[in-house]
Chains A and B, each alone.
Chain A
């Protein structure tokens, strides 16, 4: 069983948990993910690794409460155990040969962008981070990003913190001002990544996007996580989760991401009602 060592609320809908999982911690690298189940009847959900500590054998995950399983997960506390926790899965972020990188994160995607920025920073890569949130209450990891980035630009949809606007506005501004990036790494909502990739394509900056599709096993067995990259079908779990952003069919990925939306909405409501009854 995998004990929850630490639980911290980063904002009203985003939670960090540090999990005791020595085997996963030993091998984890930025960009990889885990699959967990909260209980013996639970579904398998993938979550990207937010941090890891090989010495203490712990792995951190950051999740947004969006459905029944994340709701259930958020009702667990320090000292409770997860039923299953398997990983690290997927390929790690490629960092070789990079000198200057723009990391563009959106919303809870910043939780995944952070370990990538941190890793690049540790390797001596110049990191510029652009992080976008809907409003100031939803900002996460601001101090952490600042410590790992030569430049940090905070954006908000409503202007309640940082600059008002989209991450693409900030990226455009940086590039137009003469910043030259070997690569842009973008992690966030599909629609945001789609527009980041469209922008960087104009500037011909190689771009990778981290995909987080629906999956079950995470080992290449079900094909539920498939997406089209450069006209070919790829499995996010084993071929990714990071892909060349200029080749991803984002529209297809968005349609596939909505496959179980009705079910999820209903399951989430049921879960909330259940917890309301308990509390």
Chain B
């Protein structure tokens, strides 16, 4: 008999006024009992609506059925047939707009907590003593992956499972891309990211850090000199945007990328870190996406009073509802319909404050979003010690500018077809490098699609 409770099992979390002072994970995960109880809420629909909402099409009812029976190892096997990074996706996927939005139980009551169950299964697996991995039989073909973020890792994992000799090239000193430098420890512990990467290495994937493709080696050299038959470009969207307003280059103005990289990659929040961060007691974050929430919550943990300014209203916030909720609980102040026009300076060239324009919403534009317009004369200043610009990123131009014959959009995105094929034979691309900044799971989906196409290309070459 299924568990017909309309409510899902709550996941234990650290209390807001405790967690906003530490960098440990906010959500603590289900116990075995909670997981089994939640799994029993699944009706096991034959047509699997949830799976249609998953960018990598995990067989969700099948893995949940195994959880309900307590067969966690079996559940893990089912998930990893489709996903290379379950412990990551269980934490950072926007399930509420994907799998869980299609769940039949959600029509009357709350949908099955699919994300929490995925996370539970992955964490259960990772907590077991070394599970032996069957190394696939090598098929004699070599593929190169540029970038070790979600799209690259997903692509690498799928190709490795098929027997390809896969090398992942990473520019930084640590693999993981945005999972390592961008998403904070309290939302995605770095030990989990490294565990997932170790899992790929166990499959035979090689990871070469400290390699900037476009500088250390070019795409053409990888193919013509180093013997890679096919290349996947998953270099992400790492180039931070600025507003181009006066004062943006003052001391104390960070791009979200820089702020988060100092904290997550370089561990600047630790007392003994050799990488500095200048975090005063009043921070203003500009932007309303997940990155803005991450930056705000990091600033809070570094001891600041934090204000997020966003030019539209709460309804239009692009961040996940859960992230906004968490930010609010932690004491972060939101100022909506607020658009910065200038960052003011102390005599010594440091941030003093940020002048903002009060906005109102006009009629929805062609994109369906109401356009914010200024209310004339309604300007005010928020005092701040530092300002973080979290208004988006663009694809890094380095690979484009060093790879002849690789076509890109005007805004920098690599042009690729449905399967990820670019304008260059044998060269595929996916994730934020193609779409512009999006989500971890969409990037993974693109990496998987490209892996399938690369497999076909190399087999028929």
A146-203, CB < 8 A from B: none
Q: Is A220 an interface residue (CB 8 A)?
A: yes
* B249 and A219 within 8 A (CB): no
Contact A221 B239 (CB under 8 A): yes
User: Size band of the B side of the interface?
Assistant: 35 or more
For residue B257, CB closer than 8 A to chain A, the reply is: yes
| A217: contacting residue among B252, B261, B267, CB under 8 A | B261
| Contact mask for chain A residues 246-279; partner B; CB cutoff 8 A; 1 contact, 0 none | 0000001001101110011001000000000000
The reply on B108 being an interface residue by CB < 8 A is no
Q: Once bound together, how far apart are the Cα atoms of A44 and B242, in whole Å?
A: 24
Nearest to A32 among chain B residues (CB) is B215
* Chain A binding surface, main DSSP class: mixed
Q: Please state if A226 and B249 are interface contacts (CB–CB under 8 Å).
A: yes
Chain A: which residue is nearest B242 at the CB level?
A233
Which of B240, B262, B397 is the most central at the interface, judged by chain A CB atoms within 10 Å of its CB? B240
Which residues between 216 and 258 of chain B lie within 8 Å of chain A, taking CB atoms?
216-217, 238-240, 242, 244, 248-252, 254-255, 257-258
Contact present for B173 and A86 (CB under 8 Å): yes
> Which of A35-43, A132-140, A204-212 lies at the binding interface?
A35-43
* A residues in contact with B252, CB < 8 Å: 259
B251 lies within 8 A of A255 (CB): yes
Contact A258-B209, Cβ < 8 Å, known A23-B216, A86-B216: no
User: In the complex, are the beta carbons of A86 and B211 less than 8 A apart?
Assistant: yes
- In the assembly, what is the distance between CA of A228 and CA of B388, in Å? 19
Q: How far is the CA of A217 from the CA of B34 in the complex (A)?
A: 42
Q: Which of B248, B262, B267 contacts A233 (CB 8 A)?
A: B248
A27 at the interface (CB under 8 A from B): yes
Residue of B nearest to A252 (CB): B249
> Residue A87 at the B interface, CB < 8 A?
yes
From A221, which residue of chain B is reached at the shortest CB distance?
Answer: B238
Q: How far is the CB of B264 from chain A (nearest CB, A)?
A: 11
With A42-B274, A84-B209: A221-B257 Cβ-Cβ less than 8 Å: yes
Q: How long is the Cα–Cα vector from A210 to B158 in the complex, in angstroms?
A: 44
Known A217-B261, A223-B258, A238-B398; judge A89-B210 contact (CB<8 A): no
Please tell me if the beta carbons of A37 and B173 are within 8 angstroms of each other in the complex. Answer: yes
Tell me, yes or no, whether B349 is within 8 Å of chain A by CB. Answer: yes
Contact A69 B266 (CB under 8 A): no
Q: Is A61 an interface residue (CB 8 A)?
A: no
Complex Cα gap A16–B212 (Å): 25
Query: Which residues of B sit under 8 angstroms from A23, Cβ to Cβ?
Result: 211, 216-217
Of B273, B349, B397, most A-chain CB atoms within 10 Å = B349
Q: Evaluate contact between A87 and B258: CB separation under 8 angstroms.
A: no
Contact with B along A59-74 (1 / 0, CB 8 A): 0000000001100000
Interface membership of A24, Cβ < 8 A: yes
A109 within 8 A of B: no
CB-defined contacts of B397 to chain A, threshold 8 Å: 220, 238
Contact B212 A219 (CB under 8 A): yes
Across-interface contacts of B240 in A (CB, < 8 A): 221-223
Closest-CB distance, B130 to chain A (whole angstroms): 23
* B-contact bits for A23-59, CB 8 A (1 contact / 0 none): 1100100000000010001111000000000000000
Asked if A227 lies at the interface with its beta carbon under 8 angstroms from chain B, I say yes
Contact B249 A228 (CB under 8 A): yes
0/1 interface trace, chain A 81-101, chain B, CB 8 Å (1 if under): 001111111000000000000
Partner of A224, one of B242, B258, B267: B258
What is the distance, in angstroms, from B144's C-beta to the closest C-beta of chain A? Answer: 14
Does B275 sit at the interface, judged by CB under 8 A? yes
Given B212, B251, B255, which contacts A223 in the complex, CB threshold below 8 Å? B255
Please give the distance in Å from A273's CB to the nearest CB on chain B: 14
CB distance from A37 to the nearest CB of B (A): 6
Question: What residue in chain A is nearest B393 (Cβ atoms)?
Answer: A221
Q: Which residues of B contact A252 (CB under 8 A)?
A: 249, 349
| Contact status of A85 and B396, CB under 8 A, knowing A27-B215, A44-B173 | no
CA–CA, A226 to B212, complex, Å? 20
A23 to B262, CA, bound (A): 27
A10 in the interface (beta carbon within 8 A): no
Find chain A residues with CB under 8 A from B272 CB: 41
Interface centre among A86, A89, A221 (most CB of B within 10 A): A221
CB of A170 to closest CB in B, whole Å: 31
**Is B171 an interface residue, CB under 8 A from the partner?**
yes
Are A260 and B215 interface neighbours, CB within 8 A?
no
B173 touches A24 (CB 8 A): no
Indicate if A216 sits at the interface (CB-CB under 8 A). yes
| B170 (CB) vs chain A CBs: closest residue | A86
Which residues of chain A have C-beta atoms less than 8 A from B172's C-beta? 217
B16 within 8 A of A: no
Using Cβ atoms and an 8 Å threshold, which residues of chain A touch B261? 216-217, 221-222
Contact of A219 among B238, B248, B273 (CB under 8 A): B238
Residues of A within 8 Å of B274, CB to CB, are: 41-43, 68-69, 267
CA–CA, A44 and B239, complex, Å: 19
List the B side residues contacting A258 at CB < 8 Å. 251
Contact status A216-B238, CB under 8 Å: no
Asked if B262 and A216 make an inter-chain contact with CB atoms under 8 angstroms apart, the answer reads: yes
The docked-state distance in angstroms from the alpha carbon of A236 to that of B257 is 16
Say yes or no: is B328 at the interface (Cβ < 8 Å to chain A): no
In the complex the two chains form, what is the Cα distance from A273 to B340 in whole Å? 45
Say yes or no: is B278 at the interface (Cβ < 8 Å to chain A).
Answer: yes
Neighbouring B residues of A219 by C-beta, 8 Å: 171, 212, 215, 238, 396, 398
Does B276 lie at the interface of the complex (its beta carbon under 8 Å from any beta carbon of A)?
yes
Given contacts A27-B216, A86-B171, A259-B278, contact A220 B239 (CB under 8 A): yes
Residues of A within 8 A of B257 (CB): 221-223
Q: Could you show 10 A-B contacts with beta carbons less than 8 Å apart?
A: A23-B211, A69-B274, A221-B238, A222-B257, A228-B249, A233-B242, A233-B249, A255-B348, A258-B251, A267-B274
Binding site for B on A (CB under 8 A): 23-24, 27, 37, 41-44, 68-69, 83-89, 216-224, 226-228, 233, 238, 252, 255-256, 258-260, 263-264, 267
Top-10 shortest CB links A-B: A222-B258, A255-B349, A263-B276, A86-B210, A221-B238, A223-B255, A43-B275, A43-B274, A84-B173, A260-B276
> Known pairs A87-B215, A216-B261. 15 more at Cβ < 8 A?
A41-B272, A44-B173, A84-B209, A85-B210, A89-B212, A216-B262, A216-B266, A217-B171, A217-B181, A219-B171, A219-B396, A221-B396, A233-B248, A255-B348, A259-B251
